[in-house]
Amino acid sequence: MSNSLAPALAYETIVGLEIHVQLATKSKLFCGCATRYGQPPNSQTCPICQGLPGTLPVINQHAIELAMDVGLALDMELVSGCRWDRKHYFYPDLPKGYQTSQYDLPITRHGRLEFRDPADSEKTCVVRINRAHLEEDAGKSLHGEGIDGGTWIDLNRTGTPLLEVVTEPDLRSAQEAKAFLIQLRTILLYLGVSDCNMQEGSMRVDANVNLRIKNETETIATPIVEIKNLNSFRNAERAIEYERERQLKHWRETGERMGQRPKQTRGWDADREVTTVQREKEEAADYRYFPCPDLPPVVLSQTSIDQRRAQLPRLPQQWKSEFTRTWKLSEYDASVIVEQGRDVAEYFETVAQISQDGKRSANWITQEILRLLNERQQSISDFPIAAAKLGELVSAVSNSELDHARAREIFALWLTEPISLREAKERLGIATVSGNEVEELVNRIVAENQAAIDDYRHGKKQALGPLIAQAKQLNSNVSPAKFREALLRAIDST
């Protein structure tokens, strides 16, 4: 209504996330079937993951190890004697009628994750992690495929190991949720526990969202909505943002509070950019959790925990501080490189170690390589120039054996030709200019440009520029830096 006053409301958006991460094991959680993506339907199952009568599960030890890694990386408590529970519900892509999961004794719990505040890069946000538990994935349902609209079931994915990471409701905006997810994915990628490929469903996000609205007298919580199966960080951000607005509007219209309606599950419609109701359950689901009698508990000894900790790969934060300390990178450059993932960080480290020039190595990577990778939709492991070669090139520039322009020519050649630095220089006619040749060049330039030299001596520093350009014209291989050095020496000594 036009005459209604819409006072600015003080409210907070409250977001908690549940992230399903497919663990990078070769075989399934309880049987030996492979976990490959995109296989022909029902070609990657066995009696065990099909849940056929009489079959029994046996835990994949590597799934336990990967879950331990996540626990260690997120400062979590590793639960010795974690247990397996059956969560009962009927759905045709769940062949046993229950999902084997972990209920009250998850493998790891009570951790935290820090990430840069998207609203203020000087600040960090901290999100508490409630728990991360192991469970088996379900199969895939293709609805309405059969004649008479039946559903088709493919059980290839059934039994794939998932780690479900559950945060406390500590996030305060869609942007924070996205930043958290990026940081979490970066860590998981560094650990190598998952490929985090969201298109293939290796990382799936559910968001619980509601608002806390403050008026003069009280703080009112709106009903919690769970948005299911967000398949990209962008969609996660947009869906939460949409939900914030929708709930605010809904509250203004109805004043509905938490507890006044059952928990809603909504889905994100990426085309229409809205969330839609999927399910509203009157009674809370009764999963009848019950300890799985087929699986003995997993007891993590201190020794096994220590061993795993010792083998833990360096985490993003450790790489970052290494880069700023040893290679003197700015916080920003270090972050840009580290956020690209472990392969890029390792690539940088090799380049820097060979060239002994961190700053220049970082520039090549952030300005040239990342752009190219993006253009070519390529990963660093497929990039044609190996780190060692780039290291050699950067080293040559640092030692003034090459100028930047010539180095770029070599770099461009390397993108198509797998040849050595020496071969590349020969191909491009780049020869090393000897000290004597530089001296001769200096003598010639000094002799021919006395006026400019005088200008320089009288303080006109820029007078040297044209002289260096002249030298480059006379001998394209001469290093401008070395020539400049020799020229200054000559000027000083006369």
Of 51 and 316, the one with the shorter C-beta distance to other proteins is: 51
Can you tell me which of 141, 175, 449, 476 binds other proteins, judged by CB under 8 A? 141
Q: Does 277 bind other proteins (CB under 8 A)?
A: no
The SS3 of residue 259 is coil
Burial class (CB in 10 A: 0-12, 13-18, 19+), 112: middle
Compute the half-sphere exposure of residue 296: CA atoms within 13 Å on the CB side of its CA.
3
Can you tell me which of 22, 45, 202, 335 binds other proteins, judged by CB under 8 A? 45
CA distance 261 to 256: 8
Q: Does 145 bind other proteins (CB under 8 A)?
A: yes
Instruction: Report DSSP letters for 372-425, one per residue.
Output: HHHHHT--GGG-SS-HHHHHHHHHHHHTTSS-HHHHHHHHHHHTT----HHHHH
CB of 158 to other proteins, least distance (A): 10
CB of 94 to other proteins, least distance (A): 9
Stretch that binds other proteins, among 150-158, 309-317, 324-332, 374-382 (CB under 8 A): 150-158
Size of the site for other proteins (CB under 8 A): 67
DSSP classification of residue 271: T
CB of 86 to other proteins, least distance (A): 5
Can you tell me which of 13, 15, 16, 25 binds other proteins, judged by CB under 8 A? 25
Of 94 and 393, the one with the shorter C-beta distance to other proteins is: 94
Q: Does 155 bind other proteins (CB under 8 A)?
A: yes
The SS3 of residue 27 is strand
CA distance 55 to 196: 31
Can you tell me which of 44, 160, 186, 479 binds other proteins, judged by CB under 8 A? 44
Note whether 137 and 22 are within 8 A (CB).
Answer: yes
Q: Any bridge partners for residue 214, and if so which?
A: 10, 219
Q: Does 457 bind other proteins (CB under 8 A)?
A: no
Stretch that binds other proteins, among 26-34, 216-224, 419-427, 484-492 (CB under 8 A): 26-34
Q: Any bridge partners for residue 208, and if so which?
A: 16, 226
Q: Does 146 bind other proteins (CB under 8 A)?
A: yes
Q: Give, rounded to a whole angstrom, the gap between the first and last alpha carbons of the chain.
A: 88
Stretch that binds other proteins, among 58-66, 112-120, 409-417, 466-474 (CB under 8 A): 58-66
Please give the C-alpha separations between residue 85 and each of 4, 69, 82, 287, in angstroms, as whole numbers: 54, 22, 10, 10
Stretch that binds other proteins, among 296-304, 360-368, 404-412, 432-440 (CB under 8 A): 296-304
Can you tell me which of 10, 58, 119, 474 binds other proteins, judged by CB under 8 A? 58
The pair of structure tokens assigned to 191 is 């650990």
Q: Does 418 bind other proteins (CB under 8 A)?
A: no
CA distance 461 to 448: 18
Q: Does 321 bind other proteins (CB under 8 A)?
A: no
Can you tell me which of 5, 6, 7, 54 binds other proteins, judged by CB under 8 A? 54
Can you tell me which of 9, 75, 77, 97 binds other proteins, judged by CB under 8 A? 97
Stretch that binds other proteins, among 218-226, 286-294, 328-336, 417-425 (CB under 8 A): 286-294
Of 13 and 44, the one with the shorter C-beta distance to other proteins is: 44
CB of 22 to other proteins, least distance (A): 14
Of 62 and 128, the one with the shorter C-beta distance to other proteins is: 62
The pair of structure tokens assigned to 57 is 């599960």
Stretch that binds other proteins, among 84-92, 125-133, 421-429, 475-483 (CB under 8 A): 84-92
CA distance 92 to 142: 11
Q: Please, which residues have CB within 8 angstroms of residue 467's CB and are 6 or more apart in sequence?
A: 445, 449, 452, 487
Query: Tokens 């005088």, residue?
Result: 454
CA distance 307 to 326: 27
Q: Does 192 bind other proteins (CB under 8 A)?
A: no
Can you tell me which of 9, 10, 75, 91 binds other proteins, judged by CB under 8 A? 91
Output the CA torsion sign for 287, 291, 294, 298.
positive
CB of 313 to other proteins, least distance (A): 18
- Amino acid symbol at 427: R
Q: Does 148 bind other proteins (CB under 8 A)?
A: yes
Instruction: Report DSSP letters for 169-216, one per residue.
Output: S-B-SHHHHHHHHHHHHHHHHHHTS----TTTTSEEEEEEEEEEEE-S
Q: Does 53 bind other proteins (CB under 8 A)?
A: yes
CA distance 333 to 376: 22
Q: Does 51 bind other proteins (CB under 8 A)?
A: yes
- Amino acid symbol at 318: Q
CB of 95 to other proteins, least distance (A): 5
CB of 159 to other proteins, least distance (A): 11
Of 278 and 443, the one with the shorter C-beta distance to other proteins is: 278
Question: Given the rule CB under 8 A, which residues bind other proteins?
Answer: 25-27, 31-34, 40-47, 50-64, 81, 86, 88, 90-92, 95-98, 141-146, 148-155, 278, 284, 286, 288, 290-291, 293-299
